[in-house]
Structure 1
Amino acid sequence: MEELRNRDGLTEKEFLAKYRPGNYERPSVTVDMLVFTVEDVRPPGRSVPDKVLKLLLIRRKNHPFMNQWAIPGGFVNIDESVDAAAARELKEETSVEDVYLEQLYTWGEVNRDPRMRVISTSYLALVPGEGLKPRAGDDAAEAVWFTVRREQQEETEGLKTWNLFLESRDRSAEIRYRVTEHFTKNGVLMAEETQLLPETRDRLAFDHAKIVNLALERLRNKVEYTPIAFNLLPEEFTLTEAQKVYETLLGRPLFKANFRKKILPMVVETEKKTENVRHRPSQYYRFDPDWRKKNEGF
């Protein structure tokens, strides 16, 4: 078969031999990892703890944005995939490893990094907090769990406004943004514009506030149609614990009966029950990875 030649008369082998990548400007590629967990908080007078959502942040050791809080991340090496880079950078900066990372979004604004043109792939991970003890390393001065939540302030046609809060456990760092979303229709298309304005002295480095905001929105949506919330639960859990996790991710209370109708096809009973002398023991369950096959048509 005759080899194909381009308009310069070159075969592919000849073209590649003459090709010089250095003749073209190239962006750098980074990865950013959003690691979420939940933590128990026990309000006064309640026997069952509530849950709060936590996000792992690092305090940057070097310029740019030195001493500011950021999502763990770093540059992709020339000889590794973005997935491998995400796992490596997370371990180097926080000592967290062996967690499932799912690609969230690719960020490519031209001026998002003051050093150079940088395109970043963000990753999402949900992990049980038990036994996970992050430690800072590499370019991170600290690795700290921050409570994170969104509180909606206003919603009208074409406009939504809320506050995005992040607070360290010892409350030494508090980050708050006012988020405004505008929606405009052009025929059948919907255009969306999001603006985040910092309202505290502490703020997130780079465009990481946008990344956190999108991650929270994606979490809330995925909880509705996937079993992603079970990644935040221990291997064995009660239905009350599961409901608290769902409510934390959705940001609203759920009706007990409706929730249990939704979740029972996704779990199986264990032989374990809670030990409580004041109330009837609660049954422990575990997530059933084969629940879809067993409940076809559900």
Structure 2
Amino acid sequence: MTYTYTYPHPAVTADIVVFSVEDDRLKILLIRRKEDPFQGQWALPGGFVGIDESIDDCALRELEEETGLSGIYLEQLYTFGTPDRDPRERVISVAYFALTPMTGLTLKHGSDAMDAQWHDIDAQPELAFDHGAIIRLARERLTAKLDYSTVGLKFMPAEFTLSDVQSLYETVSGQARDKRNFRKWILSLDILEETGRKKSDGAHRPAMLYTLKTPAEIRMIK
């Protein structure tokens, strides 16, 4: 399509904050930029929206092109539009956050990135653009959603113990949970089912393995 305007108009990008958890640490996925501006610096995966492309499709495409990831949970976060946020031109960014278990992931950086790596969210390198602000808001949103939705279970692998779930919630929220009360709460949601298999963990008694009844569903909690 060809568009002609009598006034300047901004470009639009999609940027994605990808969260995962490893060794009881909350991680974010960053790419090292290959081109200017901010060549060689770490940044969120993302890029410009095509003229005939939806913003959601752009986010999915850029995520796969720059990191090799696809088929993971993705949710729109916020729109960032400070006039000077990009030195190239007026750019509005629609930010997303994504959640994925760490198991079975293979990263593959694209042609416009020098590298793609997981970083501890509390030990971030210097970031390009306003991506630090985007990450902070994404973390706040994720932490808040743990209390009113089951979105946190998107971090879980196919099978897990109740201790795994509690550890995940404590890692993301930064708050300890009472073991008895947490287990009573998570089971009361009726979203888990026993697999019939157990996981042995050293000297402790084998723990029941659970799976999600409907993995694609995110339930709002009253």
Superposed pair shares fold, TM > 0.5? yes
- 2:161, 2:210 within 8 Å by CA — same for their partners in 1? yes
> Bigger relative contact order, structure 1 or 2, given CA contacts below 8 A and separation 6+?
2
CA distance in structure 1 between the aligned counterparts of 2:4 and 2:10, rounded to whole angstroms: 12
Larger Rg: 1
Per-residue deviation at 1:136? 1.2
Paired position in structure 2 for 1:36: 19
Match of 1:192 in 2: none
- Which residue matches 1:140? 113
Give yes or no for the alignment of 1:268 onto 2:196: no
SS at match of 1:242: helix
The equivalences for 1:283-298 within 5 A come to 283-289=208-214
Alpha-carbon RMSD across the aligned residues, in angstroms, is 1.9
Match of 2:150 in 1: 227
Mark the CA change 1:274 to 1:207 in structure 2 (over 3 Å): closer, same or farther. Answer: same
1:95 to 2:18 alignment: no
1:68 match: 41
Q: Does 1:55 align with 2:38?
A: no
Unaligned runs of 5+ in 1: 1-19, 41-50, 150-164, 167-174, 176-202
With 241-250 and 135-144 compared, the bigger mean Cα shift is at 135-144
SS of alignment partner, residue 237 of structure 1: coil
Secondary structure of 1:142's counterpart equals strand
Gaps of 5+ in 2: none
SS at match of 2:186: helix
- Work out the percentage of aligned pairs sharing the same amino acid: 48
Residues 78-119 of structure 1: CA deviation (Å, up to 9, x unaligned) = 011001000111111111112221101111111100010000
Letter in 1 for 2:178: F
Query: How far is the alpha carbon of 1:288 from its aligned partner?
Result: 2.8
One-letter amino acid of the counterpart of residue 52, structure 2: D
1:122 aligns with 2:95: yes
Match of 1:77 among 50, 57, 61: 50
**How many residues matched?**
215
1:216 aligns with 139
CA contact (8 A) 2:11 2:91 kept: yes
Amino acid paired to 1:256 = K
**TM-score, normalised by the number of residues in structure 1:** 0.69
Distance 1:37 1:277, change over 3 A: closer
The answer to whether the 8 Å contact 2:31/2:117 transfers is yes
**Cα distance in 1, alignment partners of residues 73 and 161 from structure 2:** 23
Cα distance, 1:289 vs. partner? 3.1
Distance verdict in 2 for CA 1:208–1:79, change over 3 Å: same
Residue 207 of structure 1: aligned partner: 130
TM-score, length-scaled by structure 2:
0.91
**How do 1:181-200 residues align onto structure 2 when only pairs under 5 Å count?**
none
Q: Provide the C-alpha distance between the structure 2 equivalents of 1:68 and 1:211, rounded to a whole number of angstroms.
A: 16
